[in-house]
Structure 1
C-alpha cells in the first residue's frame, strides 16, 4: 500500500522562487488537451538553484529554459513533480504538457462536466493542469489563451478581463483573458462550452459599471434570475456594510452539474455547482432559494476575503473560509429572519461540527498536520471558523470590528497572510489584547461550560459560577482555558437584564445585585460561543425563557432543551409517561403568529445527530424510537391546533416573500406531525396533487416517506415521470427514496443504484442517494444486521477509484463509530477495516481510516 507523507504547519518555509507572470495556452481536446505554460521565474535567495514544480497525472511533452529545450538528462520527472536547475536570478521557463479531461473523474484540475470543459483548482488541482509551484503564497499575474472548436465551445472563459479574441483555422477560435491582480494558482479558472447566458449590470458606489454574466445549461436561463438578483444584493450589501467594492469590469458565474464542492470563488469567474444557481418555484424549495442566495453571496464576498487577501499556506484555510462564512451568515440574517438564520447555523454546529470536534479527525480551525488537504474542507474550518470570527465581532462590537477589517485590508491587500495576521489587525484596531483569544485557532475540541448559580434572598444578590473544560481529543491530549464571550439574560417579573460575560480562566464568578427574587438565567444568548453547556434547568424555568426572553435564540433553545430532556427520560425509562404539561407549554407557542418561520423551528425536534452528540455512546434505535414517541405524543396532544393551522394556510397562493416562506414552513411543519395520525394521510396526497411549487410537493413526499404512507410509491412514480429530465429535481427524488422508512429499503437502494439516471461519477447524485441514506435514514442505516453500514462501505469502495473526494466525505458516517453502542461500533469498524485493505486506497480515504482505526 502506498504511504503518504504528512505536512506540518511548523515546517512552513517561504518558497525559494517567485513566479511573477504566467502565460497559459490551452488547445482543448477531450482526451489530449495541450497546455503550454510560459513562466517568468525569479530567485528569492541567492542559494536557490533547483526548482521542484508540482505535477500529477500529466504527460510531459517539452521543457524550455530561456527558449532552449532541455534534454531528458537536464530535468527529473516523476509521478508528482518536475525539477531542474535555475541558473539565473531571473529566467523564462516554458513547459508543454498533455492532459485527458474526459477521463478525469476526480473533478480536480481540468475536466469535462457534461459537454463543457471546467476547472477546479482549490486546493491543489492546478498541478493536474501543468507543472507549477502549487502553493497559495506563490502569486502571479495570469494571462490565459483558450483555443477550441467554435461550434462546440462558443464561450471560452477565464479569469480577469477579455483582451483579445478571433477565429483560427479548422473552425477553431480563441479568446485571451488577462487578470490584472496577483493570484495564487488555486484561483485559476477556465470554462469552455455552449451555454445560455443571462446578462445584467451593476453600478458600484464609485460609479463604475460592472457586467454581470451567468452561464447555465441550455434551457435553464429562466432559473438563473434569482441568482442574478442575489448577486446584486450581495454586491450592494458588501459596499454598504464593509465598504468593499468589486474591482474588475466583469463578474461571471458558470453553473455545472459535475462539481465536488458547492462553488468556487475563482477571481472574476466563479464556477458553481448548478444546485446553488438554478431556482424557480416549480423546481426549487424555499430552502433552495435561501441556499442559492447564501452561496452566491459567499463566493462574491471571497473577492476580498480570500482573493485580494489570501492564505499563506493551506493550514490558514479558515482565514478566508471562516471569515467569509461569517460574512455570508450576516448577509443572510439581514435578508431574512435573523433569528431563524441563526438557529439554522447552530443546528449545523450541534448536529455535525460538535461530532467532528470529538471524532477521530478532530482538528483545530487552523490544523497542525495535513496529509490530504481536501480532507480539511470541514465544518470545523468553515462553521466553527465562522463562530470564532463571530466571537471577535461580539467582543469588539460592530464599529471596532469594521475598523479591524479595514486595517486588515490596508495592511495585507495583495498578499498571502496568516490567521495571526488577521487577529493582530483586529487587536490593533480595537486596542485590546487578543493573545488568549488566539488559542481558538490552535486548540481542537468543543469546550464544556458548567453553570452553577445561587441567590441570597436577604441581600438580593444573584451569583453565577462558570467553569470551562475541553476534553482531550485524538490530536491533542492537553487543553487550556479559552477566552469565551457568554451573553446572558436575567429574567424576572421586573424585566430582563442583558450582560456579556468574558470567561478567561478555568473558573470565574459574577455577582448581580438588586433582585427581589431569584431571576431565571437565559444562558448563551444568540449562541455567543461554540460551546456545550452543562446546566440543569427545570421545565418551569425553560417555560419562562420560552415566553419571556428577549433573545429569540434563547426562546428556541429553551424549547430544544425541553425536548432533549424528555427524550433522555424516554430512553432511560421504558415506562416513562411524558407529562401532559409539555403540551400546555407547547400550545402557548402555537398562539404566537408573529413569526411563523420561528414557530416552525420551535416545533422541529432536535435531529438524530444533535441528540447523538448529547447522549453518546447510545443505541441508535432506542434514540430513533424515543424521537418517534415524542413526536407522536405532540401530534396527538396538539392535533386540533395543528390541523387548524394547516387548514388556514393550506390554500394560500404561492409568493416568494418572507411572510409566505414562513407560512409554508409552519404549514409543512404541521403536516409533518399530522401525518403521524393515519386519519390525516389524505392531507399528504391532496397537498402533493394540488401543490404548484416544489416546497409543498417535496414536503408532502417527505412526510409520506417517513411514515410509509400507502400512496407514496404512486406519488413518487408520477414525480419521476414529470421530472426525469431535470437533474436537480431528480437529485431530490433519489434523496426521498433514500429516506424511505419501509422495511424493503435495501431492495430499493439496490434498484436505485442500478437506475438509468444514477451515476457515481456525478457527486450530487452520489450524495443524494448514498449520503442521504446515511444521514437521514438512521433507523435502517444503523439497523441491527449491519446492512446499512455494508451498503455505505460498498459505495465508498467504488468511489475510491472514481472520485476520492466524494468517498472521503461520505465515510464520515462510519468513522464516528464511537458515538454508538459497542455492538454497532464493531459492525462499523469491520466495514472500515474492509475499506482499509483496498488496493490503491486513495490518500483522501487513507488519512481518515488511519485516524479512525
Structure 2
C-alpha cells in the first residue's frame, strides 16, 4: 500500500529502454514461506539511448546478492528499483539473487500459492514481484527456467516453452525440471507452476505436418471436467491455421487451472494459466453459458500466441494492440464454430449487448479513455471494456472496410513485418491498410485512427426523405461525439454504416443503387460516414422504404433515427439482418419503458407489440436462441444509460411491471414454447441448437412462474421445482431455480437449500448459488438483506476472487434496484467491501470500485449518498494506487 497520490504515467513520455536484456536464466528453489530466485541475465546497452544507470523494477523482494560478470558491485535500492551505475560498455552478465514469500502474496500478482501449489500472474507488472527486472513489454528476452521443489508436495513442475531436462535431487526428496522457450518474450508472459495436478493429454498433427502435445492440468478429481476445454483448444489450433495460416510454434501447449486468479485466464507463452471457471465443465456442474465461455476464453488465450506473444505491445498504452485484436479473433472463432447464420447472429448480439452494458457506460463516465489511453496511474485499471471490447469493434470496422479476404492479407503482412517485435496500434492499422491500398481504410487511415485516440461513443443521426416523383430516397447521415474527460471537442470519425432498404408493404429487400452508378445494385452495402454530415441518394424506388441501418452493428455508435413504432414493427417482422430484427424488438420495448419512467410510471404493452412478439415466438424458422434474445427485455442498466437523470427504483418498478405484462399477455404462448422446445432425451450436448432450445424453455418457465405467483397459483412453481429436482444437467437445474428465485416463489427457499446441499463441494457451482441470490430482482429490500447476510456464510471468502465476485459484483453491478437504495445501505456495503478488499487484493478492489463510476447520473437522494461513500473510500490514507485512481477520477474534484 502507498499513501498519497501516485505518479501518472503518460504515453507521450515513452522512451526506449537504456538497456536490452537478451537472455534470462532463472532458477527457483520453491518454498511457500521463502522462495529463492537466482536470476542470471545477459544485458547490453541500447546504443540509441544516452548512457545512464540501469534501473530494475522490484517489489516485495529481499535482495541478497548482485554480481556483474561474477563480481560484487555497488548498488542502491530506491523507489522500488535496483539501481546500478558505471556498468561495462560491452555486453555483460548480471546476477541477482532474491527471496520472496509466495504464501503471503494475497494480491495474486507475481508468484503466489493456491490450494497448496505455486502459480504466477505477471501481466501487467507482476514479474517485478518475482525478481528485479526491466519489467516493461518492449524488453524481450529468451528464457531458460529451472524449477526445484519437494517432489511429494509439488510433483508437477511447469514453465514456458519446451521441457529439456528433469531429474531428482537430494536423493529423491526433491526434483527439478528445466524449461527453455526459444522465442523472445517480455517478462509479463513468464509463467511457472509447481503443484500436485493431474493431466488430460492429446497429441495432434497440425496442417503444417508438425506434431504437438496438448495438455490440460487440473486438481485430482476435476479431470472429468476437462474434455470440453481440450476440444476447444484443438478447435482453436485448427481454426487459426485455417483462417489466418497461423500454426502452433511449440512442441507442447499447456493449460493449467487454478481457483485463485484475478483474471479469466493468461496467455503466457506455451503455458496458459486459467481461472478454473474457464476450464472446468461437465453437464452436471456447468451451464450452456459456461461451455460457451470456456470455448471463447480458450480460443482467446491460444490466439494470443501470435497476436500478443509473437508480436507484442511496445508499451502498456498499446494494450488494445493485443487485446482488442484477440477479442475480435475469439469472436470470429466462436461465430465460425456456431455454423448457421442464425447462430452466428446470436453470438454477434451477445457481443453487442456486452459492449453496451459495460463499454458504453464507461465511455460516458469519469473513467472514459481512448482505446489507446493517454495516461494511467495504475495500469491494471486499464484492462477495460474500452481496450478489449471497443478495441475489438475497431478491428472489426477495419475488416468491414477492407473485406474478409483483405483483412487476412493485412494480418499476413503484419506478421511478416513485425514477428518477434514489440509494436504499436498504428503499426497494425498501417499493415491492414498497406495490404489493401485501394480500400476506404487506406484512403482515410489517419482519420480512421481517431478511433484509437478519441474517447466517447459517437452518435450517428439518420434522416430519410422519399421523393415519389423522382423515385429516389435521400439518406442524411451526420455524426457527433459527446465531450469526455480531457477531450471536450471531437473530430469526425470514419464510421462504416452497413444498410439495407426494406419494403414497407411486403418486407422484401430493395435494390441499393446510388445516383450516378451504372452497375447492378445489390440489396446491402456499406456507406462510409467520414464528415460531420453526408447525403446518399438511392434511385429506382417505387415506394418509400424503411431503412435498416447499422446492420450487424457495423460500428460502435449510438444510432438516432426517426423510425416510428410502425416502421420498427416492419423491421421486426421482415428485416433480413438478424441483428436489426432483434434491435427493432428491443427498441419497441425500450420506447415504452422510457416513456413510463419519464412519465407517470405506468407502462402498457399494447396489442400490436404483443402480436409482433407472439409472431416471433411462433416463427417456424427463427433460431430458438434468437427468439430468447428478442423476447428478453432491455436490462435496467441499459435503460438507465438512456436517461439524463436516473432513479433506479423507478426503472426497476417500470421494468418489473412490463415483465409481468409480457408474462401474462403471452401466457398460452409461453406454455406452448415450454413444451415445444424441450430438448429430446438423448443426452446433454452444449451445441448451439440444443443450448438455444434450453434457453428459450427456461425463459418461458421464468415467465410462467412469474405469472403464477402473481395470481397465487401453485401450478407452474410446482412444475419448476420438480424440474429443478429431476434435471440431468446444470442448465435446466439452474434455469428452474432461477425461475423460482426470480418470481419470489415460496419454493425458492427450499430449492436454494437443496441446491447448496447437492453442490457444497463444487466451488464453481456454489459461486452460481451466491450470484443467483445477489442478482435476483429486488422486492421489498429482501434481496439486499439476503446479500448482506451471505457475507457471513461459511462458504463466503473475500480472498477468493471468484467467490467475492459472485456476491459483491453481482449485487453492485448486476442488481441496480438492490444496490441503489434510498437509505444508502448499498453504498455503505460497497465502501466497506472496497476497503476490505483493498487491503487484500487491490486489483479486485479497483474493479468493485468501478460500480460507482456513474454516480453523477443518479437522482437525489442517491447522488449525495453515493458521493459521500466514494469520499469515504478516497479519504483512506493507506489506499492502493489501483483504487485511488478510480475514486479520485470518480469524484473529479
**TM class, shorter-chain normalised?**
over 0.9
Residue in 1 that maps onto 2:250:
248
CA distance in 1, matches of 2:494, 2:424: 20
Instruction: Name the residue aligned to 2:578.
Output: 552
Moved more, 303-312 or 40-49: 40-49
Partner of 2:680: 652
Q: 2-side partners of 1:522 and 1:25: how far apart?
A: 61
Query: More deviation in 710-719 or 266-275?
Result: 710-719
Residues 78-477 of structure 1: matches in 2 within 5 Å?
78-85=78-85, 86-169=87-170, 171-336=173-338, 337-431=343-437, 432-433=442-443, 434-477=445-488
* Paired position in structure 1 for 2:595: 569
Q: Could you report, residue by residue, the CA deviation over 1:568-596 in whole angstroms, capped at 9, with x for unpaired residues? A: 12212325543222111111101114311
**3-state DSSP class of the match of 1:476?**
coil
Partner SS state of residue 774, structure 1: helix
Deviations 1:795-825 (A, max 9, x none): 1110011000001011111122123213211
**Aligned counterparts, 1:428-827, within 5 A:** 428-431=434-437, 432-433=442-443, 434-492=445-503, 493=506, 495-496=509-510, 497-574=523-600, 575=602, 577-594=604-621, 595-650=623-678, 652-653=680-681, 654-656=683-685, 657-677=687-707, 678=709, 679=713, 680-740=716-776, 741-742=778-779, 743-827=781-865
1:252 aligned counterpart, secondary structure: strand
Q: 1:429-457, CA deviations, whole angstroms, 9 ceiling, x for partnerless residues? A: 10022121011000000000111111111
Q: Residue 5 of structure 1 aligns to a residue in which SS? A: coil
Distance 1:577 1:297, change over 3 A: closer
With over 3 angstroms needed to count, the CA separation of the structure-2 counterparts of 1:835 and 1:192, relative to structure 1, is same
What is the CA distance between 1:365 and its match in structure 2? 0.4
- The DSSP-based 3-state class of the residue aligned with 1:525 is coil
Cα drift, residue 87 of structure 1: 2.6
1:372-396 residue CA offsets vs partner (Å, 9 max, x unmatched): 0000000000000000000000000
Q: Secondary structure at the residue paired with 1:179?
A: strand
Task: Give the CA deviation at 1:206.
Answer: 1.2
Secondary structure of 1:822's aligned partner: coil
Residue in 2 that maps onto 1:25: 27
For residues 429-488 of structure 1, give each alpha carbon's deviation from its aligned partner in whole angstroms, at most 9, with x where no partner exists.
Answer: 100221210110000000001111111111111011111000100131121100000001
Judge conservation of contact 1:20–1:42 (CA < 8 Å) in 2. Answer: yes
- Does structure 2 conserve the Cα–Cα contact (< 8 Å) formed by 1:734 and 1:769? yes
- Residue 245 of structure 1 aligns to a residue whose secondary structure is coil
Distance 1:629 1:520 in 2: 31
Matched, 1:852 2:893: no
Structure 1 Cα separation of the partners of residues 791 and 178 of structure 2: 43
**1:363–1:475 CA contact under 8 A, matched in 2:** no
Displacement of 1:615 = 1.9
**Is the Cα–Cα contact under 8 Å of residues 546 and 558 in structure 1 kept in the other structure?**
yes
Per-residue CA distance 1:672-707 (angstroms, 9 max, x = gap): 211211233223212211111111111122222222
SS of the equivalent of 2:696 reads helix
Q: 1:834 to 1:455 in 2, by over 3 A?
A: same
Q: What SS does structure 2 have at the residue aligned with 1:802?
A: coil
How far apart are the structure 2 equivalents of 1:576 and 1:65?
75
Please give the alpha-carbon distance, in whole angstroms, between the structure 2 residues aligned to 1:591 and 1:125: 53
Give how far 1:651 is off: 6.7
Task: Please say if residues 56 and 79 of structure 1, whose CA atoms lie closer than 8 Å, have aligned partners that are also in contact.
Answer: no
Please state how far the C-alpha of 1:839 moved relative to its aligned partner: 2.7
More divergent stretch after superposition (256-265 vs 75-84): 75-84
The answer to whether the 8 Å contact 2:468/2:542 transfers is yes
Which whole-Å CA distance do the structure 1 matches of 2:679 and 2:316 have between them? 51
- Deviation of the 1:499 alpha carbon: 2.0
Superposed displacement of residue 18, structure 1: 0.4
Q: Counterparts of 1:371 and 1:707 in 2: how far apart (Å)?
A: 44
* Displacement of 1:327: 0.4
What SS does the corresponding residue of 2:322 show, helix, strand or coil? helix
CA apart distance, 1:5 = 0.4
For 2:184, what is the secondary structure of its paired residue?
coil
CA distance in 2, matches of 1:687, 1:592: 26
2:94 pairs with 1:64: no
Number of positions where the alignment pairs a residue of Structure 1 with one of Structure 2: 850
Once the two structures are superposed, residues 517-548 of structure 1 have per-residue CA deviations (whole angstroms, 9 ceiling, x without a partner) of: 10001111000000001113111111111121
Q: Displacement, 1:636?
A: 1.1
Question: Normalization by structure 2: what TM-score?
Answer: 0.94
* 1:54-102 per-position Cα deviation (integer Å, ceiling 9, x unaligned): 00111111111110123xxx21113511001223321100000010100
Q: TM-score, normalised by structure 1?
A: 0.98
Greater alpha carbon shift after TM alignment, 294-303 vs 689-698: 689-698
Kept in 1: contact 2:5–2:884 (CA 8 A): no
1:137 Cα offset (Å): 0.3
Q: Does the aligned pair in 2 maintain the 1:401–1:426 contact within 8 Å?
A: yes
Offset, 1:353 = 0.5
Retained in 1: the 8 A contact 2:317–2:372? yes
Looking at structure 1, the residues matched to 346 and 52 of structure 2 have their Cα atoms a distance apart, in angstroms, of 57
Answer whether contact 1:49 1:87 (CA < 8 A) is retained. no
Task: Quote the Cα distance in structure 2 between the aligned partners of 1:707 and 1:578.
Answer: 20
Q: Distance in 1 between matches of 2:310 and 2:734?
A: 41
**Higher deviation after alignment, 776-785 or 562-571:** 776-785
* C-alpha distance in 2 between matches for 1:79 and 1:283: 47
Query: 1:834-853 to 2 correspondence within 5 Å?
Result: 834-853=872-891
CA distance in structure 1 between the partners assigned to 2:30 and 2:642 by the alignment: 53
SS across alignment from 1:253: strand
SS of residue paired to 1:360 = coil
Are 2:4 and 2:877, in contact at CA under 8 Å, matched by a contact in 1? Answer: no
**Residue by residue, what CA displacement relative to the aligned partner does 1:641-700 show, whole Å, maximum 9, x if unpaired?**
111111233473243133211110110111121121123322321221111111111112
SS in 1 for 2:706: coil
SS at match of 1:401: helix
Per-residue deviation, residues 282-326 of structure 1 (Å, max 9, x unmatched): 000000000000000000000000000000000000000000000
Q: How far is 1:844 from its partner?
A: 0.2
Query: Residue 41 of structure 1 is aligned with which of 34, 43, 57?
Result: 43
Given that 2:509 and 2:576 are in contact with CA atoms closer than 8 Å, whether structure 1 keeps it comes out as: no
- Counterpart Cα distance in 2 of 1:47 and 1:775: 49
1:355 and 1:554 map into 2 onto residues whose CA distance is: 22
Looking at structure 2, the residues matched to 570 and 580 of structure 1 have their Cα atoms a distance apart, in angstroms, of 17
What runs of 5+ residues in structure 1 fail to find an aligned partner?
A: none
